[in-house]
Chains A and B, each alone.
Chain A
């Protein structure tokens, strides 16, 4: 189906560029002084928020596919997951660069000391094996089942990310709780699908992760 392939050659790059929009906008706002008086904290906050958003978007792919039967949506999952990792790396870079200014002793001291940093660092570390094994080659090397099992680490990463956000705020917990609620719904869907849906159905379609 050469025509369908042609469509993907358009759609994927468009989504790719859309995923880059948050960082492009941030840099534009920085350069044109549209951020607050504390632009470095704004960049740290925004890259963190987008990491969490991309994690949740990635986690919503399987439920969307199950509910709508739109199987092609799975083609975006890897890219979206890698963007979560990309923003996570940027977020960590802002911490290393803007917050600690490459003082690696202070960073090593800080990670276990402050609970919200511990949670955030955990969320990032858990994304590394997923990013590294995101290629088709790695799926073959590990075998589908083991690969899928490994990639369930994204659940833990997202939980750690929400906890990181929750422990960061002082009193205004509304935003992190909204992210937490969405995550509960997304993970709850999987639990429901796994335990409540009849086994027969799962055999006919590949297991969602």
Chain B
């Protein structure tokens, strides 16, 4: 896996001891809380992970984990792009408090052998959740490192058995204007729609996330289930998913419909393709404490954005021969 080379790492990015200790304590607390509710969980895989991380610190790394310091939980859960709940970063956490995520069904349709309206519990039954610490790069120039918990999307798709003609899968967020204030406006064409090519969806990195830091995912982060595709810009990560449609036609994703000159279908993180508003060459890692003294000393968090957000080893082969400056 490609992660920042030592020469790329600025002193400001190196974790100091205090932060590291706190992180261990935090993970420990999280896993203890999880162990307490283990009996009721429908995700048996998590329990093993939690038990392990409680004893061995730092927690064992999965094969796809980044070694970068995870962004604090507070930042992940208060700085959100979830337009349905408001067009400012602070609003989703405030406006999503009463969002109802249970019962939850996901309608599977199209070119698939097992189309049905699945209760989320049934769709995920028998599948093993995994903890994955992924980088997340927002198209607006900031980035976080998020310890997700979720089910590899490939295992869900295998269970649904798409037919050979299926080439894409389309996802939609719930349409619930009574619970999502901005869905009453025409801020975007609702419901939010995203899609992946089937091989992208089957890539081992693609995750249907149900948790963050070992806790059940919060509404502002896309509860009860959302897509995570860490080599793509954050807006591909469609939240609160209620439909999965298998098709042979490229789905029309919301931002590409709203602003076609700025957003495409693929949305792979690419430092060589600039967005008219944000440079994509660099990014700002956010969420860590920042003081005036640090700024004055020049310790401004900023780093070079990597091709495919640093996941080229896992995903670049899927795009061989494609002109990614045109198919952005």
Contact = CB atoms under 8 A, between A and B. Distances in A.
Interface residues of A, number: 25
A170 B295 CA distance: 28
Contact of B302 (A37, A101, A113): A101
Interface string A22-48: 000001001101001111110000000
B289 interface: yes
Contact of A171 (B87, B284, B286): B87
Nearest to B142: A38
Contacts of B90: 36
A205 B314 CA distance: 74
A171 B255 CA distance: 10
A114 to B, nearest CB: 6
A30 B300 contact: no
Contacts of B276: 114-116
Given A97-B300, A170-B259, A171-B258, A37 B286 contact: yes
A29 B195 CA distance: 40
Contacts, number: 67
B120 to A, nearest CB: 29
Contacts of A110: 279
B89 A114 contact: no
Contacts of B142: 38, 41
Contacts of B83: 171
A98 interface: yes
A171 B188 contact: yes
B284 A40 contact: yes
Interface in B132-155: 142
A30 B292 contact: yes
Nearest to B79: A37
A74 to B, nearest CB: 37
Given A106-B279, A114-B277, A168-B277, A41 B290 contact: no
A110 B277 CA distance: 10
Contacts of B289: 33
Nearest to A101: B302
Nearest to A27: B292
Given A106-B281, A171-B258, A39 B290 contact: yes
25 contacts: A33-B289, A36-B79, A37-B71, A37-B74, A37-B79, A37-B287, A38-B89, A38-B142, A38-B284, A41-B142, A97-B295, A98-B284, A98-B302, A101-B282, A101-B300, A113-B274, A116-B277, A168-B277, A170-B259, A170-B277, A171-B87, A171-B188, A171-B258, A172-B87, A172-B187
Interface of A: 27, 30-31, 33, 36-41, 97-99, 101, 106, 110, 113-116, 167-168, 170-172
Interface of B: 71, 74-76, 78-79, 83, 87, 89-90, 142, 187-188, 258-259, 274, 276-277, 279, 281-282, 284, 286-287, 289-292, 295, 300-302
